[in-house]
Amino acid sequence: MDLITELTILVLAAFVGFEVISKVPNTLHTPLMSATNAIHGIVLLGGILVIGQAEGFLSKTILVIAIAFGTINVIGGFLVTDRMLEMFKKRPEPKKQAVEATEASK
Amino acid sequence: MKLPVASFLTDLDFIRVLYIVAFSLFIVGMQRLTKPSTARQGNILAAIGMAIAVVATLLIPSVGDYGLIALGIAIGTIVGVPAARQVKMTAMPQMVALFNGVGGGAVALISWAEYRHYLEHGGNPALDTLIPILFAAIIGSISFWGSNIAFGKLQELIPGKPIVVPGQQIVNGLLLLAAIAAAIAIATGSESEGLFVLILVAAAVLGNMVVLPIGGADMPVVISLLNALTGLSAAAAGIALDNTALIVGGIIVGASGTILTNLMAEAMNRSIPSIVAGGFGGATALAGGGGDDNEGRSVKSTDAADVAIQLAYASRVVVAPGYGMAVAQAQHTVRELADELEKRGVEVLYAIHPVAGRMPGHMNVLLAEADVPYDALKEMDEINGEFAQVDVTLVIGANDVTNPAARTDQGSPIYGMPILDVDKSGSVIVLKRSMNTGFAGIDNPLFYNDNTALLFGDAKASVADVLTEIKEV
């Protein structure tokens, strides 16, 4: 792929990022930060792409560490975010349900 | 002879289609992350996108050395899963810092290995590959070391207070110049791994030096900034490796991190450049002088029984939580107290400062964990006009975000930062461990006001005591 195509993708994706994220309520800032943090763990792909061509002990070692780092970033990031969001479950609202039940029975 | 199915699966266009699916899932996932009701689903969608991207990459024919790939992924899983499972909710911010750091580290290491690869095969690559590699090396290394320092500060392995080195800014400038000069030397034709390592090291020292002098109160902004930088460096690595998933995934994080950083900095009325320049470091030295005004003034301490009576006969109570509540894990007890008060007809609201705790939304996460209903949580702008109609404000482990010096004392390092106007309520009860200053290391005149009383002790124990007393009122 040529550089200009890549730059086009880069700039358009940046605008998508701005648009999607500028609407997040305060409440979700920490989980959002954590989820985006997990997404940049995608650099893991870079390690996978390069390691096959790498030669020599040092290069291979560097890349195994890079893949391990990327994996920690991805897996840890998504798990931690899930743990945070798990707590955002809706509270059971017995009153509302009761109202709906009586309305339904009418 | 290859099976047709196998050749289809390893077709580069098919892999590119999988990448499109993957980053679409990232975008849809992030969209869902903007609403509480769909947020969890959004995170799972993004994770599925990531799994697709990884599998697609493994299918690329030029990818090899599966044993070592499996080894790296296994090590990462063994380290990452327990860390994510066991971390306490209060330690979330430093966990995010750490995960961000390893991401930056991965970028730096990959760029190094990639450069080695080119040197072994005929020398420097073309500039459209070389420049992104150099960029990724510098930013990745800064992000790795900066995040580690941020982690160390939040984990209190390193003092949270600003550490000031004489000539700091000059040293930082020289380090950045050294890294850029080495990068230019490589870009203009020098083929030297030594120079490349010099770039990594200079950027590493710079990452340390930039974050060390930043005060703990600014740390959320710093983590967010480093998160954005790691995203940018990942996108640069994507350009170097001609990989669209990396480009899109990286830049989306770069964009989101930038917005989040701005929002946080705005909430604290701080500019990003002054934070990065360690502005808090210099200002705190001034605050030492300003703080003297409070010397000789005494604080009023109170006890649980007295607080219980005030609360039980109030009609409106506001809880202003801060990091102290998180540390003491007091959120559940706080909710029990609120339940008890509501039973007695007292209206209980929560005033959430945007940067209370160590990250925006930190308090929301903790209170959600304790099943506090959403509508009881009021953002700063919403509640500030109403403090005059509040009988009692309970400040639980919050300090800097309630400090009236931000409104009045021009010499204060937090002057101009929007705060919760708790001092305008009928009476203020501050739950505090000791008279130590807050995370930013600034004295708080609120404590010396006539309508303020302090209840010393661990936040959770204090709230529990108050709860017991209320039941007897």
- In single-letter form, the type of residue at position B415 comes to Y
- % pLDDT > 90, chain B: 42
DSSP state of B301: B
Confidence of residue B282 (pLDDT cuts 50, 70, 90): very low
Q: What is the pLDDT of residues B52-97, one digit of tens each?
A: 999 999 999 989 889 999 999 999 999 999 999 998 877 888 899 9
Residues of chain A contacting B260 with CB distance shorter than 8 Å: 21, 29, 32-33
> Could you report the per-residue pLDDT of B203-244, keeping only the tens digit for each?
999 999 888 888 766 788 888 899 999 999 999 999 999 999
CA distance B235 to B241: 10
**Average of per-residue pLDDT values in chain B:** 86
Token pair, residue B188, equals: 């203009």
Closest CA to A35 of B215, B39, B114, B334: B39
Q: What pLDDT, on the 0 to 100 scale, is given for residue B458?
A: 86
Asked whether the predicted pLDDT for residue B19 surpasses 60, the reply is: yes
CA distance B146 to B216: 13
> Between B251 and B472, where is the model more confident?
B251
Residue found by looking up tokens 């599998």 in the block: B55
**Contact at CB, A41 and B50, closer than 8 angstroms:** yes
Residues 6 or more apart from B9 whose CB is under 8 A from it?
Answer: B59
- Tell me the nearest-neighbour CA distance from B450 into chain A, angstroms: 33
Sheet holding B316-321, edge to edge: B377-379, B347-352, B316-321, B392-396, B427-432, B452-456
Instruction: Say if CB B417 and CB B265 are below 8 A apart.
Output: no
Average pLDDT over residues A55-78: 95
Distance between CA B396 and CA B330 in Å, rounded? Answer: 9
Angle at B331 between CA B325 and CA B332, to 5 degrees: 150
Task: List alpha helices for B121-218, DSSP H.
Answer: 127-154, 168-187, 193-211
Tell me how close the Cα of A8 comes to any Cα of chain B, in angstroms: 11
Mean pLDDT across the stretch B135-151?
95
At residue A93, the pLDDT reads 45
Q: Does the beta carbon of B404 lie under 8 angstroms from any beta carbon of chain A? A: no
In 3D, which of B218, B220, B231, B233 has the Cα closest to residue B257?
B231
Task: Work out the minimum CA distance from B350 to partner chain A, whole angstroms.
Answer: 13
Distances (CA, A) of B191 to A59, B89, B109, B141, B185: 17, 48, 18, 20, 9
pLDDT value for A90: 53
Q: Which of B277, B327, B276, B370 is closest to B155 using CA atoms?
A: B327
* Structure confidence at residue A23 (pLDDT): 63
**Poorest-pLDDT segment among B13-27, B47-61, B64-78, B160-174:** B160-174
CB–CB contact B96 A9 (8 Å): no
> Does B117 contact A54 at a Cβ distance shorter than 8 Å?
yes
Tokens 């150099």 belong to residue:
B134
* Cα–Cα distance measured from residue B390 to residue B295, given in angstroms and rounded to the nearest whole number: 29
Do the Cβ atoms of B247 and A9 come closer than 8 Å? yes
Alpha carbon distances (Å) from B376 to B168, B283, B349, B389: 45, 36, 5, 16
Distance from CA of A57 to the nearest CA of B (A): 11
- Selecting from B37, B79, B113 the residue whose C-beta is nearest the C-beta of A50 gives B113
What is the per-residue pLDDT for B79?
Answer: 95
pLDDT (0 to 100) of residue B207: 93
- The answer to whether B421 is a known catalytic residue is no
Q: Which of B64-68, B369-373, B464-468 has the lowest mean pLDDT?
A: B369-373
| C-alpha–C-alpha distance, residues B7 and B25, integer Å | 25
Question: B287 pLDDT exceeds 50?
Answer: no
Residue B286 has pLDDT above 50, yes or no: no
**Residue B253 confidence (pLDDT) above 60:** yes
Write the CA distances from B154 to A32, B3, B15, integer angstroms: 19, 54, 41
- pLDDT tens digits, B312-337: 888 899 999 988 888 888 889 999 99
* Rg of the Cα atoms in chain A: 22
Angstrom distance (rounded) from CA B463 to CA B297: 27
Average pLDDT over residues B3-18: 81
B392 phi and psi, to 5 degrees?
Answer: -130, 135
Q: What is the pLDDT of residue B221?
A: 83
Among the ranges given (B94-98, B219-223, B279-283, B419-423), the one the predictor scored with the smallest mean pLDDT: B279-283
pLDDT score recorded for residue B278: 62
DSSP state letter for B126 = -
pLDDT value at B25 more than 90: yes
Mean pLDDT of chain A: 82
Between A23 and B141, residue with greater pLDDT: B141
- Over residues A91-101, the pLDDT tens digits come to 444 444 444 44
Higher pLDDT, B279 or B473: B473
Are residues B106 and A88, on separate chains, in Cβ contact within 8 Å? no
Task: Write out the two tokens for B114.
Answer: 């990639």
pLDDT over 60 (residue B283): no
Q: Which two tokens stand for residue B64?
A: 């090899």
CB nearest to B100's CB, from A26, A37, A88: A37
Q: What average pLDDT does the segment B250-268 reach?
A: 84
**Per the structure block, which two tokens stand in for B16?**
């590119």
Distance of CA B293 to the CA centre of its chain: 33
pLDDT value for A97: 43
Ranges B146-155, B230-239, B343-352, B363-372: which has the least confidence: B363-372
Chain A neighbors of B197, CB-CB under 8 A: none
Nearest residue, CB atoms, B106 vs list A29, A38, A44:
A44
Report, as an integer, the average pLDDT of A8-13. Answer: 94
Q: How far apart are CA B9 and CA B15, in angstroms?
A: 7
Q: What is the DSSP string of B57-107?
A: HHHSTT---HHHHHHHHHHHHHHHHHHHHH--GGGHHHHHHHHHHHHHHHH
- Cα A6 to chain centroid distance, Å, stands at 22
Across the range B432-440, mean pLDDT stands at: 70
Of A58, A70, A78, nearest to B103 by CB-CB distance is A70
Is pLDDT above 90 for B177?
yes
Say what the pLDDT of residue B241 is: 93
Stretch B97-107: mean pLDDT = 95
Q: Tokens 């109403």 appear where?
A: B386
